[in-house]
């Protein structure tokens, strides 16, 4: 509240009070957005449990911006490949801010093939007949 004093001709003070609200058009500021992570799993393992510290948010006007959505939680299993993890925060004025990072799970070659190589058994047999030395090269991927 702002109070203004006005001196009139009879030297009396009149108090005029009014209040105003600030238009919030700034998105929340996200703190501690995790970095992307990579992990290697042994052949035959199809997921990896990733952990991170969850981000938080602050705002210029809203003292407690809320978490609107998160796609994954810490200590959740992630499949082979790359998965985006996103957090979205909003303030009272519905200004939104998001934080996205990636969890990438790779297969460590202990044999020539990893589970994410989706080859049927006949195709695999054909490849092995054409390139019988491939199992030899797999030792370099251990």
CA separation for the pair 98, 138 (Å, rounded): 41
Q: What are φ and ψ of residue 70, in 5° steps?
A: -140, 140
pLDDT at 18: 54
pLDDT at 108: 83
CATH architecture of 24-108: Sandwich (2.60)
Q: Three-class SS string for 60-74?
A: CCCCCCEEEEECCCC
pLDDT, one tens digit per residue, over 39-86 is 999 888 899 999 999 999 999 998 899 999 999 999 999 999 999 999
CA separation for the pair 6, 141 (Å, rounded): 83
CA separation for the pair 91, 97 (Å, rounded): 9
pLDDT, one tens digit per residue, over 85-130 is 999 999 999 999 999 999 999 988 655 455 544 444 445 445 445 4
pLDDT, one tens digit per residue, over 22-49 is 688 899 999 999 999 999 998 888 999 9
Residue 26 vs residue 17, higher pLDDT = 26
């Amino acid at each position: 509240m702002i109070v203004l004093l006005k001196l009139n001709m009879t030297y009396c003070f009149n108090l005029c009070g009014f209040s105003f609200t600030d238009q919030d058009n700034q998105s929340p500021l996200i703190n501690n957005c995790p970095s992307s992570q990579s992990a290697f799993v042994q052949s035959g393992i199809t997921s990896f449990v990733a952990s991170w510290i969850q981000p938080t948010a602050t705002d210029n006007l809203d003292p407690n911006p809320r978490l609107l959505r998160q796609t994954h939680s810490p200590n959740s299993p992630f499949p082979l490949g790359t998965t985006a993890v996103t957090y979205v925060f909003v303030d009272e004025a519905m200004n939104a801010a998001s934080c996205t990072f990636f969890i990438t799970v790779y297969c460590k070659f202990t044999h020539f093939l990893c589970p994410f190589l989706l080859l049927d058994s006949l195709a695999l047999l054909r490849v092995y007949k054409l390139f019988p030395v491939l199992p030899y090269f797999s030792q370099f991927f251990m």
